[in-house]
Chains A and B, each alone.
Chain A
Amino acid sequence: MSDAWEVIFQINTLTAALRLATPIALAAMAGTLSERAGVINIGLEGKLLAGAFAAVYVTYVTGAPWLGVLAAMAAGMLVGLLLGLFAIRLRADHVVAGVGINILLLGLTTWLLQVVWGGRGTSPAVTSLPRWSIPVLRDIPVVGELLGSHSPLVYFTLLAAPALWLVLFRTPAGLRVRLIGEHPEAADTVGIAVNRTQYLTLMAAGALAALGGAQLSLGDLAWFSQNMSAGRGYMALAANVFGQWNPVGSLLAALLFALTDAVQMRIQTLPNPWPAELVQMLPYLLTILVLSGAVRRSRPPAALGRHYPPDHGAGAL
């Protein structure tokens, strides 16, 4: 038994968790950002796919993975804009719009995959993002093993969480975003451009989530495969709720989910009596458990999912 523990809880498991957490954390922070501005963001899954595909395609064409990363961000902003168009301009139900975006992007990336590279279900391998190894950090025992050498996007994520926290809770822009998510009328009456701010926030969130996609395809691997996000967008959504609509909370929640995932993978490598499918369920099961506990405690932004300005006849302001 103690051997098994050693296999499961070695430092590698943590390193793997960090790698696995990155796309979920980026998407979760994107969720935090857009939901703080009052827009429910079910479309994270679609943004991950868009980012993953755009990153590989542009890298395939140019041979430069950094251009791929930029392309992913651009694709994510576009998808964010699309969500804004549905949810703000056309006043669609936010959940329906988000689900629509997910279906649209799953279909679109699958189709493009076949059109561009033929029907194999994966793209050819492209140049992946480099692994950075941080000079002083890598030499510290344990910490070095954990943090010493990763895709640049992993480091970006670790820095992005506190940075985003600072933006949301300590800058004018963040205050405006939060005001809109809580009480758009109040924001409007103090002269804040509600819809414009929402569009900008959605685009920033789109870029962030798409970076998660780029990490999936160019950071972890070096190719795109059909539906490679595999539900991480939904886990990100859960991480955002569990993290109380706070970027740092989102990151921590994503790390927790990823750790379960890493442990699950280790368990599978061991001789064990359980069917693989049951073991693979662990992270998802945890998501459900955590959510059913967390949802009761947490309070979403008060105007989440509402349209502004409200429909005429929807009652006096």
Chain B
Amino acid sequence: MAVASPDLHPPIVELIGIRKRFGPVVANDGVDLAVLRGEIHCLLGENGAGKSTLMKILYGLYPPDGGEIRVRGQKVHIRSPRDAMALGIGMVHQHFMLVDRLTVAENLIAGQEPVRNGLLDLRRARQAIREMADRYGLRVDPDARVQDLSVGEQQRVEILKALMRNVDILILDEPTAVLTPQEVDELFRVMLQLKADGKTLIFITHKLRETMAFSDRVTVLRNGRHVGTWRTADTSPEQLAEMMVGRQVTLRVARPHRLPGDVLLELDRVSAIDDRGQPRLRDVTLSVRSGEILGIAGVEGNGQLELEEVIAGLRPISSGRIRINGQEPRQPGPRGRRALGLAHIPSDRLRRGLAAPLPVTRNGILGRHWQPPFARRGVLREPAIRSHVGQLLAEFQIRGRLDAPASTLSGGNQQKLVVARELAHGPRVILACQPTRGVDVGAIEHIHSRLLEMRAAGAAILLISADLDELLALSDRLVVMYEGTIVAEGPADRFTRKELGLWMAGQRPDRAGSLAQAAPDRHPAPPKEGAAHA
């Protein structure tokens, strides 16, 4: 399709006909990509489109099955990240490549350590880190341990790691996914400064807003194929969305107004500690009514996981009460809660939502596998199971065979299977955690409309999500969590993205007349600890 008009700058990186398959999955199917010197090139595509795979090939982490790579006009063979770095290519990975237990300095110098008398020269390392950090305004403490850093700080370390290897082509794989809006702004400032310094940036995202905001050109991938490359100025978000998905998409969901009913989920001053004994939830009080979606916003790691676990019955509460459908569960653990009508879509589908090696039939009944009609006298009843799960597959348009292991399904189909199972028995309360993380737009649309159907049917839904767009689109009310407490709550349409970002960062937006309420004083701000980062 369209290729941008020849620019003044020559291409610095050319990928030609790159092919890569993982077993049956074709991740890259003859992809072409030309990146010009000194530009910010956005690589746009849905989850699973093959963006990370393509960049890992360029960075030497995966060998391609076919195709050619040229850097600065020369054909090259990149067999390892070492080769890539030698060519001046650096990469900031979607999942940070940092060791929690080591210090920032140790993480930054590993692989190219400064040495004095045979020993690590940490003094020189610190100095080099400070110089580079000052140059780009990437503040970090070289002696801090990575485990004590916020996600935004960790990302700065990742960027520094690439810069300290003197790269001039920097790949950033979904760098904004884990950041607050303010941190995103900060990242964009750094990226523009890098560009001004003459560096070339390849920026992966699936968010149209970011693409439009500051990329020079954009390439869209879909299903492992190159759809096209445009100058960003010549496209529109609608056009790009259609290219990404391959059809017209509704970027908004319809959420009819509804009067909420009785309180079905209630938390009263609930506190909990994490596995290391640190307090992670402090006096959380909230309630969700029938026909209402309550969204939980917050930077990941501020107690959302623990909140999920205490409601689902996977973590004991240290104080407080939980009421589901008006009753306190009599039995600890998930079974007692399910008996009261709770459905749980876990935030980590592979760890908690599915038994990935087991077939779809088994995964479709987990949690009720011991009950009739799926089991009689302790023995599974295959016909009942097959007909039930078969129905789920049809209803949710899940592509997968009944007898295939769940691990062979795509992420979107796995997630739809979890959602289908959890919604199958008319739950009164739904705990939906990251319900669309890492799935394609089709599945997102489907899952969102199912949740809204359940809302219309009178379920109370607690939605924990790291995706602000999702929270704003689905929620009736929002609460913001910060360091284990609720710092703000209010009707969803009273929050702007900017305000949400400030609350999430632990700050208090001082906008006169803001209708979103700071949480009342019965949720005192937690004392600042060593590990606390604003």
Known: A172-B120, A183-B99. A189 touches B106 (CB 8 A): no
**A278 in the interface, Cβ–Cβ < 8 Å?**
no
Complex contact A189–B91 (CB within 8 A): yes
Complex contact A189–B61 (CB within 8 A): yes
Q: Which of A200-230 contact B (CB under 8 A)?
A: none
Of the listed stretches A59-67, A173-181, A233-241, A246-254, name the one at the interface; the rest are far from the partner chain.
A173-181
Q: Among B97, B106, B110, which residue has its beta carbon within 8 angstroms of that of A185?
A: B97
Complex contact B95–A317 (CB within 8 A): yes
CA distance A317 to B93 in the complex (A): 9
Complex contact B350–A315 (CB within 8 A): yes
Residues 7-39 of B, flagged 1 when their CB comes within 8 A of A and 0 if not, give 000000000000000110000000000000000
Complex contact A191–B99 (CB within 8 A): no
Q: How far is the CB of A230 from chain B (nearest CB, A)?
A: 35
**B144 in the interface, Cβ–Cβ < 8 Å?**
no
Complex contact B119–A176 (CB within 8 A): no
CA distance A183 to B93 in the complex (A): 14
Q: How far is the CB of B14 from chain A (nearest CB, A)?
A: 23
Residues of the B chain whose Cβ atoms lie less than 8 Å from the Cβ of A312: 22-23
Known: A189-B81, A190-B161, A191-B85. A178 touches B120 (CB 8 A): no
Complex contact B119–A166 (CB within 8 A): yes
Q: Which of B54-106 contact A (CB under 8 A)?
A: 56, 59, 61, 80-82, 85, 91, 93, 95, 97-102, 106
Known: A171-B120, A189-B61, A191-B80. A317 touches B56 (CB 8 A): yes
CA distance A312 to B61 in the complex (A): 13
Complex contact B101–A302 (CB within 8 A): yes
Known: A175-B120, A189-B81, A192-B111. A317 touches B61 (CB 8 A): yes
CA distance A187 to B82 in the complex (A): 11
Count contacts on B: residues with CB < 8 A to the other chain.
Answer: 34
Q: Which of A298-317 contact B (CB under 8 A)?
A: 299, 302, 312-313, 315-317
**B52 in the interface, Cβ–Cβ < 8 Å?**
yes
**A186 in the interface, Cβ–Cβ < 8 Å?**
yes
CA distance A316 to B50 in the complex (A): 11
CA distance A171 to B120 in the complex (A): 5
Complex contact A182–B111 (CB within 8 A): no
CA distance A182 to B106 in the complex (A): 13
CA distance A312 to B80 in the complex (A): 17
**A120 in the interface, Cβ–Cβ < 8 Å?**
no
Q: Among A178, A188, A315, A316, which residue has its beta carbon within 8 angstroms of that of B81?
A: A188
Q: How far is the CB of B392 from chain A (nearest CB, A)?
A: 24
Residues of the B chain whose Cβ atoms lie less than 8 Å from the Cβ of A175: 106, 109-110, 113, 120
Q: How far is the CB of A163 from chain B (nearest CB, A)?
A: 12
Known: A166-B119, A191-B85, A312-B22. A178 touches B102 (CB 8 A): yes
CA distance A93 to B111 in the complex (A): 28
Residues of the A chain whose Cβ atoms lie less than 8 Å from the Cβ of B119: 166, 170-171
Complex contact B115–A183 (CB within 8 A): no
Residues 154-165 of A, flagged 1 when their CB comes within 8 A of B and 0 if not, give 000000000000
**B378 in the interface, Cβ–Cβ < 8 Å?**
no
CA distance A9 to B165 in the complex (A): 58
CA distance A299 to B407 in the complex (A): 30
**B118 in the interface, Cβ–Cβ < 8 Å?**
yes
Complex contact A172–B115 (CB within 8 A): yes
Q: Of all chain B residues, which has the CB nearest A309? A: B61
CA distance A178 to B107 in the complex (A): 11
Q: How far is the CB of A199 from chain B (nearest CB, A)?
A: 16
CA distance A64 to B112 in the complex (A): 43
16 additional contacts (CB under 8 A) given A182-B99, A193-B80, A312-B22: A170-B120, A176-B110, A182-B100, A186-B107, A190-B97, A190-B110, A190-B161, A190-B165, A191-B82, A191-B85, A191-B111, A193-B82, A313-B23, A315-B350, A317-B61, A317-B93
Residues of B within 8 A of A (CB): 22-23, 52, 56, 59, 61, 80-82, 85, 91, 93, 95, 97-102, 106-107, 109-113, 115, 118-120, 161, 165, 350, 407
CB<8 Å pairs between A and B, sample of 21 = A170-B119, A171-B118, A172-B115, A175-B106, A175-B120, A176-B111, A179-B99, A182-B102, A186-B99, A188-B80, A188-B81, A189-B81, A190-B110, A190-B111, A190-B165, A191-B85, A193-B80, A193-B82, A302-B101, A312-B22, A315-B350
Residues of A within 8 A of B (CB): 166, 170-172, 175-176, 178-179, 182-183, 185-193, 299, 302, 312-313, 315-317
